[in-house]
Amino acid sequence: MDNQVQTQTPTTRRPVMHSFTESNSSSPIKSLFLLVLIALLGIGSGFGLAQLSTKAGKNISLLSNNNSVTKGKTFGSSDTTTFKDTTEGVLKTGGIDGEGQYHLVRSGGESQNVYLTSSSVDLAQFVDRKIKIWGETQEGERAGWLMDVGRVEVLD
């Protein structure tokens, strides 16, 4: 066997560091275009999110007028797949040991109370009214039944 040494021809190497003293006239134009594009995308996404939150808040704004809470009216979400648990009773203020801001008094005594929270319906409008609620049962530590309310119907 012949031991032949393979030689490589030297290649031209590019410098590892780039010189910042060279002027590139298209760089400021590209930077300006990129900044304008980012600003437009930010404004557009902010406007879109504001429109979505306005639509989501319409049910809550309907409750600002106490006269609009009348027998037979329904408030809140129409999503009965998420808010599938229902019950009815008289709404009172106060939770139990930090769970719920309100509770629903039902027949059968204090052990039958349902403790309530809601981020989509202003329950303060229904205090001392008989209501039917749709919600999602939550796990409570002190409350026998803790529910996140999504829909309210005024019964009386």
Q: Where are the domains of the chain?
A: 25-56, 69-154
Instruction: Map tokens 């998420």 to a residue.
Output: 82
* pTM of this structure: 0.56
* Beta strand 85-93 pairing with 130-138: antiparallel
Q: Taking 50 as the threshold, does the pLDDT of residue 10 lie above it?
A: yes
pLDDT at 63: 43
Average pLDDT over residues 33-42: 93
For the chain, what is the mean pLDDT? 82
Fold of 69-154: OB fold (Dihydrolipoamide Acetyltransferase, E2P) (2.40.50)
